[in-house]
Amino acid sequence: MATTSADQIFKEFREHSAAQFFKKNRQMLGYSGQGRSLVTIVHEFCTNSLDAAEEAGILPDIDITIKRIDNGTGISRYSIRVGDNGPGVPKSFVGKALGTIFAGTKFHRYMQQRGQQGIGAAGCVLFAQITTGKPIFIKSSTGKGAAYSCRLGINAATNKPVITEMRDLDEDFRGLVIEGEYADIRYEAGEHSAYEYIRRTALSNPHAQIKLTDPGGQESLFVRSVKELPRKASVAKPHPAGLSANDILEFAHASQSRKISTFMIDTFARTTQNKISELKAVDGTIDVDKDPKQMTWEDAEKLIGAIHKVRWIAPDASSVIPIGEAQIKVALKNILDPEHMSVTERRPAVFRGGIPFVVEAAVSYGGNSGRKVEGGYAGNVLRFANRVPLLFDTASCAISKAANDIEWRRYNIDMDTQPVSVFVNVSSVYVPYSGVGKEAIAQEDEIIDEIKLAIMEAARGVQHYVRGKEQVAFNINRYKAIARYVKQLSGDISDLTKADRARIEKRLESIVSKRFPKSEEREREKGQEEER
């Protein structure tokens, strides 16, 4: 058999751009099914609008229109238009912001936002291009008379934006409008639909107003129920408790400090001169006066070993912005209108890399909670990360794992037969998604443990209500069983004693009512409801 030389093999060596990679691997961005692909487009543009409006201090108004296009080819196409009232995109940045993969304002900052990688909007532009061959249309203004419109595509070979038809507009508005034409997508109803995504977005973002017009012309308006913006996230510092030796080295070699001690204090949260002294006391061989750029792997491992032996204050909560108990209650009441709900928020914790995160959980019972199934209701889990709904990749998500590990019957909850919704939101400077499609949270042990504790705490609040409801139902049944024989018993007693039957019946009814006062009252209410 003839051999092939290395020189011959490496004649095929090529460099490829990020756009070329995702053009061949679009499923990694969430474009892996027609229904899911449509939701992914809505998701990416909607989260960009929310992030931009909030950072600019504007209550978000988002208008989403999805239309079916019949171009006579028999190929299903849709137009997706998303407009907002945010700060807009300056003309000089539109190509980099929306037409360059791995470019943006988010990835390099330790700051909580929905977007993270600088892929989402550019991925939507690329997907339009590879399914219809058409660029997307953009209209934007910063509100200072700088309105313009253009069409935007991507040169996949170079990962560079291609801007055409740039025009200045004489229009007075502020915000961004993006409209693209897509094939290989489909509008669907159900639990994994664009409508459900928007409904859940409204649930986790009660300060936003979102309007959806579906291909049938049906308009759904989710009115904001909270008129205050969430607290603005501050830039965070990594927490020492979750760092690895590699993390320490990367930060150290990039530091401008002259000593390890000052590098630690300047770079990491909750690190003071007293903590440096504690680290030295744990391991006297640590040289805190050494130049950070000269730090070795051995130095980093010693430092990590000492960090794990020292008690640390929890991360600063100002760097992580959860939804908040009050807003979750308002949103659940507005969207699900449950009979009862219980909401809890955990203290900030950290996972690998020193990243702070906060878990919020709520359990709602009754009303529109749960999901309708044949013969009744069943429980469901509503998953969120930084207020963004996670509709797909359920099985691989840390939230699903934690919820499945709960012994629900211990809390008088049956997820198979009761109308129960479990709401979980994980907020973090950096959410560890299991893929670039951002549809599931990686199953990090620290995160799973925090989610389980939050769900169990919320479940205890519902447990008392469900137990009380079951007791009332039990008492009502007992009341009915006893009351059923009052007439017969009063007649028998009257026959034996020759006493007035009506008086005996009234006396027996009084005895039963005193024994089961709430049951009688509930039966009376049910009768009035049926009459109405």
Whole-prediction pTM value?
0.73
Band of the pLDDT at 107, cuts 50, 70, 90?
very low
Look at residue 473 in the predicted model and tell me its pLDDT: 56
Dihedral angle sign, alpha carbons of residues 349, 350, 355, 357: negative
Residue 447 clears pLDDT 90, i.e. is over it: yes
Q: pLDDT digits over 471-512, tens only? A: 555 556 666 666 677 777 777 777 788 778 788 777 777 776
User: Considering only 6-20, 133-147, 216-230, 421-435, which range has the smallest mean pLDDT?
Assistant: 6-20
Phi and psi for 231 in degrees, rounded to 5?
Answer: -55, 135
Could you tell me the residue ranges of all domains in the chain?
A: 18-222, 240-307, 317-460, 485-531
**Among 382, 342, 383, residue whose Cα is nearest residue 363:** 342
Q: How far apart are CA 531 and CA 256, in angstroms?
A: 78
Residue 208 clears pLDDT 70, i.e. is over it: yes
Reading the block at residue 434, the tokens are: 């299991």
User: Considering only 83-97, 304-318, 385-399, 462-476, which range has the smallest mean pLDDT?
Assistant: 462-476
Q: pLDDT digits over 374-410, tens only? A: 878 899 999 999 989 999 989 999 999 999 999 999 9
User: Considering only 13-17, 198-202, 405-409, 415-419, which range has the smallest mean pLDDT?
Assistant: 13-17
High-pLDDT (> 90) share of the chain, %: 45
User: Considering only 336-340, 342-346, 374-378, 497-501, which range has the smallest mean pLDDT?
Assistant: 497-501
Look at residue 73 in the predicted model and tell me its pLDDT: 66
Band of the pLDDT at 217, cuts 50, 70, 90?
very high
- Give, rounded to a whole angstrom, the gap between the first and last alpha carbons of the chain: 90
Asked if 151 and 95 touch (Cβ cutoff 8 Å), the reply is no
**Among 510, 507, 485, 484, residue whose Cα is nearest residue 499:** 507
Which burial class, exposed, middle or buried, applies to 192 when counting CB atoms under 10 A from its CB (0-12, 13-18, 19+)?
middle
Bridge partners, residue 181, by sequence: 79
Look at residue 492 in the predicted model and tell me its pLDDT: 75
Q: pLDDT digits over 275-297, tens only? A: 999 999 999 899 999 999 999 99
User: Considering only 329-343, 458-472, 508-522, which range has the smallest mean pLDDT?
Assistant: 508-522
Compare 239 and 527 and report the one with higher pLDDT. Answer: 239
Phi and psi for 358 in degrees, rounded to 5?
Answer: -130, 135
Look at residue 115 in the predicted model and tell me its pLDDT: 54
> Does the fold of domain 317-460 match that of domain 240-307?
no
Q: Which CATH class is domain 240-307?
A: mainly alpha
Band of the pLDDT at 312, cuts 50, 70, 90?
confident
Band of the pLDDT at 439, cuts 50, 70, 90?
confident
Band of the pLDDT at 209, cuts 50, 70, 90?
very high
Q: Kindly state which CATH superfamily the domain 18-222 is placed in.
A: Histidine kinase-like ATPase, C-terminal domain (3.30.565.10)
Q: Which CATH class is domain 317-460?
A: alpha beta
- The H-or-E segment that residue 138 falls in is strand 136-142
Q: How far apart are CA 428 and CA 440, in angstroms?
A: 14
DSSP state of 318: G
Look at residue 294 in the predicted model and tell me its pLDDT: 93
Compare 25 and 168 and report the one with higher pLDDT. Answer: 168
Band of the pLDDT at 531, cuts 50, 70, 90?
very low
Mean of pLDDT over the chain: 84
Residue 76 clears pLDDT 70, i.e. is over it: yes
Asked if 504 and 490 touch (Cβ cutoff 8 Å), the reply is yes
Look at residue 431 in the predicted model and tell me its pLDDT: 86
User: 28 vs 187, 312, 333, 434, CA distance in Å?
Assistant: 20, 38, 36, 10
Q: How far apart are CA 262 and CA 256, in angstroms?
A: 10
